[in-house]
A and B are shown apart, each in its own frame.
Chain A
Amino acid sequence: MFYRLLTLNWRIFISNLNRFQLLLTIGYILFLGIMLVNLIGTAIVVVLMDSRPWMQVELPWLTPDIYKFILLVFGNAYWLMHFSFTNMRLLNIEENRKLLGFGFPLKRLAKYLTLIGFCHPVNIIYNFTWVIFLMMQVDFAYQVPVGLAAIALNYVLIYSVKHRFIRVVEKRFIAVVVGFLFLVFGLFQLVSLFASNSSRIFAEFIPQVETVNHFLSWLPGGILIQTVTVEYGWLNAGIISAFATLLIGLTVMDHFNKTKEGLLNPGLKKAEEESSKLWVILRKVLGRNAGKYYFYVMKHPYNRLQVLTLTVIPLVYVPLLLNVDFEIAKTILIPTILAGIPVALLAMGMANMYGYENREFLLHLQFPINLEKQLKERFLGVIVLPLLVFYLITLFELLVIPEIGSPLQIFVANTFFFLMFMLLFVWSSYFQYQRATYSSFSYKHPIIPQKVTFAISFLIFSMGYLVFVPLEGLEWYRLTIMSTVIVIMVIYLWRHMEVLVNLFKNRVLMRLWNEL
């Protein structure tokens, strides 16, 4: 039965792909392969770096303590990465829950889905890299079961915590945002303190590296490393493994219960009186039509999480990269990360414009208002906020990091970036339509199709290199090409807005009509 369920989910996945999406999926698989090779490669290099004689000649400062420090930093940083990538949105729970109506036992379905949920390629890649990283450091046979149990326990814990975190953000959004900003600004202060006194701190740090290592070894990544570097004997190994297995069992059980709950209650429904201040504000700012649309965008719990991520990531990375003495970080990475923020906001609103309202949009079509007017209003309403952020970021770059280029270069590059993605999202909205789900326990991305999400993240960094990499004497050629493309795109969009109406009628309308 498990095999049949796996086949069913595979069929659901494949039947939703067109040729282009299939190509994107192949690209995604290649990307995952490259990621796996890179991660394992880095892990191997880190583990082996002190055992090569030429390294001791080339890097005399690499004492055993410093080596241990690097190992621990890698382990803990990798653990953090693992936390942010553990994918839990894999399956279409709405489709799977229909099986309950055909008599598929709830417990068995929840058990199988829990199992399949753990098998996402990204999860497998990260855990496999952990296995390679830890197993290369094993000194005694008894460390093997403990190391493996620790990897499994770590994974199920992250998986479970992430699910809870999403639920907390859905319910206590403001509190979480304030808490995060507090943390981020604390970190910001620490980073600037470190940056301004780095040489003194570093000089003081070297003699104290052992203390720092001690601290790092008790952080999650450090504990994982300790499972294969500390001597504790077979008896302790047995006790630790048994205890870890018990915890794994309990956590999986907890996840199994959450899956069961998700299958039975696709959305939380509690009839309470509600007032929508957000709707009142958006209506005033964007008007009745676009305001209603953006209200739907902002009400989606997943988008709240996206906004939180968009606020936190640049606040952490940009100050860090600004203090790094590495030219590429300033000229390519920072502008790419910053240019990605309005793009991500645009993606939230535009990549699946009709999926939010879904079938209720048919009611708008019955209103005595011209369809072209309605579509245009939504289109323009959606770009207001990203455009505002776009201008703020351009201004920030001009004032804070002018070394990335002249004002004209920065403005043209950002505009090009913004417009190219806007076209991608217009295309996505009409050709990659999917119904946005509101399930409290969704296994897949509830708004934007997975393929589009992948294309966006892949293109942001490719485009970053294309647009921001310094070209010295050839800069004017690139500027001319980008400006020409911008002018053509703006004229095209301005003069052919009716294309949206035809695309809507040909691509989206019948899907809305048929979708129940």
Chain B
Amino acid sequence: MERAIEIEHLVKRYEDEPVLKDLNLQVPEGNIFGLIGPNGAGKSTLIGVLTGLLSYEEGSVSIHGMELNAKNELEIKKLIASVLQPPLLFEQFTSLEFIEYVCEIYEIEKEGLVEKAYSLMDFFDIKDFAKIKVNKLSSGSRKKLAFVTAILVEPKLLLLDEPFESVDVISIERMKTVIRRLKEKGVTIIITSHILEVVENLCDDIAILHQGKIKAYLDSVSRKDLQKDSSLHEIFEKYVEVEKKDQIVDWL
């Protein structure tokens, strides 16, 4: 199977503090890939490296067979769309202006674009906000607008950092539907989330990231074996070596 992402011995430091330490990871093409880990594990940093926003000190990163470097940077960026946490939107534009601007950059066919945008916005109940300025939207609507835009640019690799945070339950279900539909079209989707139930139900493969390293990689086969006896929550606790700290707050 083709690899959408291949990371070898990746090291990323903030000043002198390593955040990603000798990280190795391969993500198959067309996979819905879940990346879970406690706060500060390095999930957002890894997404930052994949989007090309953060540089790294050691190792190599390849996306769809192209090494992430200055030479391939623009080719790779054409393949990727992302929804970061918090989502990046053009605050002074209306929702529709924002969508049109981004799609134009990615050279998306203009014909039928507005109709597509409206139908997706309608699907996520944000159609009424099409001509409202982005900085006036609620946090949930902002997340949905970023998601809609990311889909409209027709990426081959979709990076979603905490996509379900502050989104209502109905919209989460709709997002899951869209994500599954994208997978059918061959898009690779990387999702980071703290909602383990959603990751468990939605993702094909799951990796547990802790202290800058991949502690476990659970593909569909190993997940079946492991999850016979324990839930993803229990597996997660095992790999991140959660300390029992109940006695510390006994005074409460």
Contact = CB atoms under 8 A, between A and B. Distances in A.
Contact of A365 (B14, B53, B93, B101): B53
A267 to B, nearest CB: 8
A365 B90 contact: no
Contacts of A304: none
Interface in A364-416: 365-370
A365 B74 CA distance: 10
A438 to B, nearest CB: 8
B131 A365 contact: no
Given A288-B104, A509-B53, A363 B90 contact: yes
Given A273-B132, A360-B89, A279 B82 contact: no
Interface string A280-295: 0000000010001001
Nearest to B77: A368
Contacts of B136: 269-271
Given A366-B51, A366-B77, A366-B80, A292 B101 contact: yes
A489 B129 CA distance: 48
A272 B129 CA distance: 9
Nearest to B133: A274
B40 interface: no
B132 A271 contact: yes
A269 B134 CA distance: 11
Interface string B101-140: 1101110000000000000000000000101110111000
A196 interface: no
A513 interface: yes
Nearest to A299: B92
Contacts of B82: 366
Given A271-B136, A273-B131, A274-B133, A365 B52 contact: yes
Interface in A254-271: 267, 269-271
B131 A370 contact: no
Interface string A125-169: 000000000000000000000000000000000000000000000
B49 to A, nearest CB: 11
A509 B53 CA distance: 8
A92 B132 CA distance: 29
Contact of A370 (B14, B74, B93, B105): B74
B195 to A, nearest CB: 21
Contacts of A296: 92
A149 B246 CA distance: 62
A15 interface: no
A279 B132 contact: no
Interface string A437-470: 0100000000000000000000000000000000
A1 interface: no
A213 to B, nearest CB: 52
A275 B82 CA distance: 27
A362 interface: yes
B42 to A, nearest CB: 14
A275 B133 CA distance: 9
A279 B133 CA distance: 13
A276 interface: yes
A360 B91 CA distance: 8
A279 B93 contact: yes
Given A363-B90, A505-B55, A276 B97 contact: yes
B94 interface: yes
A360 B88 contact: yes
Contacts of B90: 292, 357, 360, 363
A366 B53 contact: yes
Nearest to B105: A367
Contacts of A505: 55
A70 to B, nearest CB: 51
B52 A279 contact: no
Most B-side CB within 10 Å, residue of A273, A438, A505? A273
A359 interface: yes
Contact of B131 (A267, A274, A367): A274
A516 interface: yes
B48 interface: yes
B131 A276 contact: no
16 contacts: A270-B136, A271-B132, A273-B94, A274-B133, A275-B131, A276-B94, A288-B101, A292-B90, A360-B90, A362-B84, A363-B88, A366-B77, A367-B77, A369-B74, A505-B55, A513-B48
**Which 6 interchain pairs have the tightest Cβ spacing?**
A363-B88, A368-B77, A273-B131, A368-B78, A271-B136, A368-B74
Interface of A: 267, 269-276, 279, 288, 292, 295-296, 299, 357, 359-360, 362-363, 365-370, 438, 505, 509-510, 513, 516
Interface of B: 14, 48, 51-55, 74-75, 77-78, 80, 82, 84, 86, 88-94, 97, 101-102, 104-106, 129, 131-133, 135-137
Given A274-B132, A370-B74, 9 more contacts: A271-B129, A271-B137, A360-B91, A365-B52, A366-B51, A366-B52, A369-B105, A509-B53, A516-B86
